[in-house]
Chain A
Amino acid sequence: MRRLALLITVLAFAGAVTRDVLTGEVHYFPGYAATIGLFGCIAIIVVSKWLGTVLLQRREDYYPNDIPADDQEDLRG
């Protein structure tokens, strides 16, 4: 599954770059949109996860006096 995903991604990326080069509709650089989409996505996940691990994430009962866990029973219809 992972491999398939990787394969498709690489192929699609190459396709996008090729199309840009062939049609000459180059915005900044060939494959601009694909780069934003793919690497933007990866960057967001990696950076956020890293920030979360080193800095931001805490146990759910971190704040005193708040009702912990998934207590939404009162909202149930």
Chain B
Amino acid sequence: MVDLLLHPALPLLVAAALAWWAPAHIRSVLLVAGPLVSLAQLSRLASGTAVHATFYGMDIQPLRADGLALAFGWIFAIAAIIAGIYGWSILRRREPSAALAYAGAALGVVFSGDLLTLFVFWEIKAVASAFVIFARNGGNANRAGMRYLFTHLVGGKLLLGGAIWHATTTGSLTFDAFAMSGATSLILVTFLVAAAVPPLHPWLPDAYPEASVVGTVFLSAYTTKAAVYALARGFAGTEILVWLGVAMALYGVVYAVLENDVRRLLSYHIISQVGYMVAAIGIGTDMAINGATAHAFAHILYKGLLLMGVGAVIHATGKSKMTELGGIFRRMRGVFALYMVGAVSISSVPLFSGFVSKELAVYAAGLDERTLVVILLKIASVGTFLHTGLKLPFGTWFGHDGAGPRTNEGTPRIHVGAVPATMIIAMAISAALSFAIGMMPELLYNVLPYPVDYHPYELTKVLEKSQILLFTALGFWLLLDKLHADATISLDTDVVYRRWATPLRLLIVGGERPRDVRRPFAVIGGRLAAARTVVESRLPAARGSEPPVYPLWTLGATFLAVALVLLVLTLRLS
């Protein structure tokens, strides 16, 4: 029971509570100190530690530390420290508290040994991460954050239903490899939502770019990776994951081509990169789980770095679209250089972290004799380099304006403000770690759950990767004029609830009617809207002042309709 005090989530959650009330400068300190304590606790947490407890008569295991959990635990704590330093001087009022609770809950997910504890931390994570988005206090953060929150609440409810169902049928709450059943498929769907597997993914590119620049860095680290951990724990070797993973890897790449907003482009690349992890988990061999874990580890570092880089640009310029940016290279060289470390890492250029992690995951697929998977993943990897390594830096720092002037004098098109030193320091730490892992893969391989028998720096592997990258760069050069960004947005599956369901939402909640609710379900939309006006005239005014005087038949009819449906279902299915 004493071991429970070593739970790495504890200092973060305590710091989160304190940060809610603390004054500004203390908040920054808490944001870095919390994860530092957590890191210290991790170093004392022996693999194999397990704490059992009783909660309202249920046996739970709030702390279970083994190889897989510790690997994720380490990177989660490190990521929190780096993001905390990055945000040190530009934090918003509620940001530290939300971010600390979020990171803490993610650690809680990783170390939970039973479904109840998992659910507890899963939901805290969902709400806290939504608060991270809300904390921006501007832009579209509130609306996007609400969409994000409700997606994850739905996910959480599925987990709740699945976990209890599982516990009633099997009598066990243990969170370990599951056998497929109705209950566990609900749990699987929860994990897939959080891992942003298409078509359940739109919350990610919708909400991540709407957070503050610090918030996005935090977000990129935890939600999807906690889901990767949960999948690796519960569903390793589930065949469907292989193909979902491959689809993810390609899906993200396709959307990245069309994307204009730099943070949204990188968000689509999170989906793409998580695809490698999901595919590896689907393969499920020890090597593949190692690959997924290693890639998650490296990914958190370099994706954080990339988002910190473009975050610094947004912080300095107030712009986030490639059509608006460009011509700032000479004024932001340092940020550019650090960004490029992240870019070469994600592109798995030899000597950088992606090369020792991503290739491990792909290699595991090769060992399992899945040629098509290997080829598709390699093509997706081409797209990654193309966008994060070539197109994005080109469009952001150069674009049509070239390298731009050296100073802000002469009022150039874009004014570049100062970037705080703490932001640069955080990026430098991240870059150094990515480089160190690339140079010394053992650093990473030693924290993996299984022994690693893989040598990234063999001549054939290095040569093959170099060739792929070289020819991608040539292709980029050839098609440069096709790669300009368009000032458009791309439809994703969230069109279902952002556009098509609008009439339904208006019917239920009421509120202002937006300009046009036409395509593509114009007919149904029109009918619903008409029905709404009819019904609405009978319902109490949403913003009226008098107590509602119900036309009884309307309420009664609704009540009867719902009751009938429910009655039939209950009698049929119980």
Contacts and interface: CB of A to CB of B under 8 A. Distances in A.
B321 A70 contact: yes
A38 B475 contact: yes
Contacts of A64: 499, 502, 514-517
Contact of B254 (A51, A62, A70): A51
Interface string B373-396: 001001100110010000000000
Interface string B99-139: 00000000000000000000000000000000000001111
A70 B483 contact: no
B468 interface: yes
Contacts of A65: 143, 514
Contacts of B527: none
Contact of A77 (B136, B417, B463, B516): B417
Interface string B466-488: 01111110111111001100111
A47 B51 CA distance: 52
Residue among A8, A39, A49, A59 with the highest chain B CB neighbour number at 10 A:
A49
Interface residues of A, number: 50
Interface stretch (B18-26, B312-320, B327-335, B434-442): B312-320
Interface in A3-41: 5-6, 8-9, 12-13, 16, 25, 27-28, 32-41
A57 B420 contact: no
B489 A41 contact: no
A12 B137 CA distance: 52
A38 B379 CA distance: 10
Given A52-B258, A57-B490, A72 B318 contact: yes
Chain B residues touching A, majority SS: helix
Nearest to B260: A60
A49 B257 contact: yes
Contact of A41 (B315, B318, B475, B492): B475
B491 A74 contact: no
A77 B422 CA distance: 13
A28 to B, nearest CB: 8
Nearest to B321: A70
A43 B475 CA distance: 10
Interface string B408-444: 0000000001111000000000000000000000000
A37 B463 CA distance: 12
Contacts of B368: none
A75 B215 CA distance: 11
Contacts of A42: 475, 478-479
Given A49-B482, A60-B487, A74 B138 contact: yes
Given A65-B514, A66-B143, A37 B420 contact: no
Contacts of B477: 5, 9
A62 B489 contact: yes
B490 A56 contact: yes
A67 B139 CA distance: 7
B184 interface: no
Given A44-B257, A72-B318, A58 B489 contact: yes
Interface of A: 2, 5-6, 8-9, 12-13, 16, 25, 27-28, 32-45, 47-49, 51-52, 55-60, 62-67, 70-77
26 contacts: A27-B460, A33-B465, A33-B467, A33-B471, A36-B378, A40-B379, A40-B383, A40-B472, A41-B383, A41-B475, A44-B254, A49-B258, A49-B482, A62-B491, A62-B499, A64-B515, A66-B143, A70-B319, A70-B321, A73-B318, A74-B139, A75-B213, A75-B318, A77-B316, A77-B418, A77-B420
Instruction: State the 7 A-B residue pairs at the shortest beta-carbon distance, nearest first.
Output: A37-B471, A64-B514, A41-B475, A48-B257, A76-B318, A74-B138, A33-B467
Given A13-B471, A41-B471, 20 more contacts: A9-B471, A12-B474, A27-B464, A33-B467, A35-B471, A36-B375, A36-B471, A37-B468, A40-B382, A41-B475, A45-B482, A52-B486, A64-B517, A66-B140, A67-B139, A70-B324, A72-B320, A75-B138, A75-B314, A76-B316
